[in-house]
Amino acid sequence: MLAKNLPFNKEKLEEICSNHPTPFHIYDEKGMIENAKKFNEAFSWNEGFREFYAIKAAPNPFLMKLLRNQGFGIDCSSMAELLLAEQVGMRGEEIMFTSNDTPAEEYQKAMELGAIINLDDIKHIEYLEEHAGLPELISFRYNPGALKGGNIIIGNPEDSKYGFTREQMFEGYKIAKEKGVKRFGIHTMVASNELDPDYFIETAEIIFDLILDISKELDIKFEFANLGGGIGIPYKSEHKPVDLNRVSEGIKNLYEKLIVANGLHPLKIYFESGRAITGPYGYLVSKVLHIKETYKKYAGLDSCMANLMRPALYGAYHHITVMGKEDQAHKFLYDVTGSLCENNDKFAINRLLPEIHPDDLVVIHDTGAHGHSMGFNYNGKLRSAELLLRENGEVVEIRRAETYDDLFGTLDFDTAANFE
């Protein structure tokens, strides 16, 4: 029997639903905090290690405050995310700003906050200098091209819009040094939702080798290596989570061999994981509205891909639990759908599940990253609430559901009424 754990049972969820109408996303505080502690512990050998949580995965100040309490920084890629960091009270080098095709006002805000700026384009050195000035500390994002394979979410590095080529990395650091930049970091990220632990060890080796070569040629000292995110989670029950201790041990061995042995110690190791931190600890809770039978069976929910678009966007798998029927045989074949006027509005296709009836509560797993945050308003669908299940069992609404007043708030109906 396929199964994944939940932090609540049917009775608890019914109690929650009595106060918070479906659909909603709910996050497990205890699971997130325990996971964050494990992440920190795995890399505790590296002095200055820090995880910069990729806030794009779940942009909510309540979640960021919980993670900041574990020593996490924040990885931002837009003005809104910088403003969120500011509202949480974050400043300086606990913010990493990694963006692409970046407008001047976002660089200006990053400079105002004292964030670490991680450039994606060699031409942005001049652009940043012109519009915001150059900081004392700067980092560049490396695209290794054919040296490293990507995956379906980001694509192959050679086809990726992100990062500097190897030759541009040397040129970029040379330019920055000549312009008076004193402190340097380096960054890469070339895959997303990767489950092979060796992938991250190999990535570290590529970056450490590049640090060695650039340091020798340009006589500069790197303060940190940001190895990016991309650590996957086991969306399917048969998948294994990434063994962080194995990743850490492999990186530590390379660190001793390439960094310490060549006099480049200390070098801080950074990550910018999002999915791996909160992904498994979020759940989309929905109620079954209709069961339709035509050429196949459809279980229609009160949520849709506006609440979770990964299955429609990537064909991604998300496990589904029908509450109270966990032990029943999964022998009924369904497409699990939403109500958008798009035929790809499906959470699952040809999924074997217990027999489903209207009003059944359905939980879609692993929505704690790139779930609510990727929502939208097509067909005028309203964004759902976000809830936090505290360690003591209390449930807190950390984002209210949208209303139609919110949806229409940017429209001028009075002027439209007289428009001809």
The verdict on 117 and 170 lying in the same domain is: yes
- pLDDT given for residue 127 in this prediction: 98
Q: What is residue 410's three-state secondary structure? A: coil
150 has a pLDDT exceeding 70: no
DSSP one-letter code for 117: E
The verdict on 167 and 209 lying in the same domain is: yes
Among all residues, which ones are annotated catalytic? 341
pLDDT mean over 268-275: 97
Please report which confidence band the pLDDT of residue 281 belongs to, taking 50, 70 and 90 as the band edges. very high
Long-range pairs for 16-20 at CB < 8 Å and ≥24 separation? 16/285, 16/387, 16/395, 17/285, 17/287, 17/361, 19/395, 20/385, 20/387, 20/395, 20/397
- pLDDT given for residue 1 in this prediction: 42
Is there a domain that residue 413 lies in?
no
The verdict on 217 and 298 lying in the same domain is: no
The verdict on 87 and 218 lying in the same domain is: yes
How many whole angstroms separate alpha carbon 16 and alpha carbon 23?
12
Q: Residue holding tokens 């639990």? A: 321
Nearest to 58 by CA among 284, 275, 231, 229: 275
Q: CB neighbours of 106 closer than 8 A, spacing ≥ 6?
A: 78, 79, 82, 97, 99
Is there a domain that residue 260 lies in?
yes
The answer to whether 360 and 322 are in contact (CB under 8 A) is yes
Given 278, 301, 323, which residue is the final one in a domain?
Answer: 278
**Cα angle for residues 376, 58, 13 (degrees, 5° grid):** 85
Looking at the DSSP bridge assignments, the partners of residue 361 are 287
Express each pLDDT in 371-403 by its tens digit: 999 999 999 999 999 999 999 999 999 999 999
Express each pLDDT in 234-267 by its tens digit: 999 889 999 999 999 999 999 999 999 999 999 9
The verdict on 292 and 392 lying in the same domain is: yes
The answer to whether 58 and 399 are in contact (CB under 8 A) is no
The verdict on 250 and 329 lying in the same domain is: no
Is there a domain that residue 21 lies in?
no
**Cα angle for residues 184, 186, 251 (degrees, 5° grid):** 120
The verdict on 286 and 268 lying in the same domain is: no
Range with top average pLDDT, 160-169, 216-225, 411-420: 216-225
| b/e per residue 62-79 (b: at least 16 CB within 10 A) | bbbebbbebebbbbbbbb
pLDDT mean over 290-319: 97
Q: Residue holding tokens 């407008």? A: 103
Q: Which structural domain range is residue 198 located in?
A: 29-278
149 has a pLDDT exceeding 70: no
Q: Residue holding tokens 């949208």? A: 402
The answer to whether 95 and 117 are in contact (CB under 8 A) is no
- pLDDT given for residue 161 in this prediction: 76
Is there a domain that residue 333 lies in?
yes
Express each pLDDT in 53-98 by its tens digit: 999 999 999 999 999 999 999 999 999 999 999 999 999 999 999 9
The verdict on 87 and 185 lying in the same domain is: yes
Whole-prediction pTM: 0.94
Length of the chain measured in residues:
420
The verdict on 41 and 99 lying in the same domain is: yes
The string of DSSP letters for 129-162 reads HHHT---SEEEEEE--GGGS--BTTTB-GGG-S-
Please report which confidence band the pLDDT of residue 202 belongs to, taking 50, 70 and 90 as the band edges. very high
Is there a domain that residue 412 lies in?
no
The verdict on 291 and 355 lying in the same domain is: yes
CATH number assigned to the domain comprising residue 359: 2.40.37.10
Question: How many domains is the chain built from?
Answer: 2
The verdict on 340 and 247 lying in the same domain is: no
The verdict on 106 and 206 lying in the same domain is: yes
